[in-house]
Amino acid sequence: MKRTTIKNEEIEKFSKIAEEWWKPDGKFKPLHKFNPVRIKYIRDSISKKFGVNDINKPLKKLNILDIGCGGGLLSEPMSRLGAEVTGIDASDKNIKVAKARLLKTKLKINYFHSSPESFKTKKKFDVILNMEVVEHVNDIDLFISKTAKLLKNDGIMFIATINKTLKSYVMAIVGAEYILRWLPIGTHDWNQFVEPDKLINIGKKNSLYLNKIEGVKFNPLKNKFLLSNDKSVNYIAEFYKN
């Protein structure tokens, strides 16, 4: 049987709620809350790596691939910051939502219904975003392998995901899904969560070397996510390819 990164039940799950992508208080409320901290992290990291030629468009002329782009929550701000953005997603409904948004925003983003292993392109990207996606794929080793091949040498790959700890089960599943009802019940499977060491080791096999890793923690007093030293639940990692 041919290996695939697609986990059909995950695609179906997100396809059913695709119309919710751009509702701040809808099914993707946590991502809307998470977006500011991850946008700043990505922007600052890219600017430090490649330099800033245009203060208003700090990502100008950079080619960014947003994998598992959903409805475009991250693709759109990357485009507004000047990047040339391509977004791919294994859910056709997600891509339709993202494309429909372009009629309103007038942004120039290329969206494709595709998984990394079936994405047909000769282009290599300066930056690849694997944000909140690796915990939903069928084969993480294959996923990282295929996405690494799309990245230029000396490029950056960002991976944001959830650690596999008792705390993450309590916070990301019991808390976020059952108590706060931030997410539909069944959104996450604890068995799919990924320890940082495992992610780092998979990266090394694919010429991806960790530059830095930060925890991301929700601050209820400020009602927003902030970078933290605590990586026991959410974390975001930056890898360089060489």
The answer to whether 205 and 149 are in contact (CB under 8 A) is: no
The whole-number pLDDT of residue 63 equals 98
The amino acid occupying position 72 is G
**Domain membership flag for residue 168:** yes
156-177 pLDDT tens trace: 999 999 999 999 988 888 877 7
Q: Report CA 67 to chain centroid distance, whole Å.
A: 7
Helix axes 140-149, 196-205, angle to 10 degrees: 50
141: Cβ contacts below 8 Å, ≥ 6 apart = 202, 205
Q: Give the distance between the most distant pair of CA atoms in the chain.
A: 50
Tell me what the pLDDT averaged over the chain comes to: 94
**Domain membership flag for residue 1:** no
Q: Report CA 207 to chain centroid distance, whole Å.
A: 20
Total structural domains in the chain?
1
Reported pTM:
0.94
CATH code of the domain covering residue 207: 3.40.50.150
**Domain membership flag for residue 167:** yes
Q: What is the mean pLDDT of residues 53-76?
A: 94
Answer whether residue 54 shows pLDDT above 90: no
**Domain membership flag for residue 78:** yes
pLDDT bucket at 1, cuts 50 / 70 / 90:
low
**Domain membership flag for residue 225:** yes
Domain range for residue 28? 8-50+57-241
The whole-number pLDDT of residue 169 equals 87
Strand 63-67 with 125-131, pairing: parallel
pLDDT bucket at 114, cuts 50 / 70 / 90:
very high
Answer whether residue 22 shows pLDDT above 80: yes
The C-alpha angle with vertex 181 and arms to 176 and 187, in degrees rounded to 5, equals 65
Q: What is the mean pLDDT of residues 191-196?
A: 95
The C-alpha angle with vertex 152 and arms to 110 and 130, in degrees rounded to 5, equals 60
**Domain membership flag for residue 2:** no
**Domain membership flag for residue 3:** no
The whole-number pLDDT of residue 52 equals 78
**Domain membership flag for residue 132:** yes
φ and ψ at 207, to 5 degrees? 65, 25
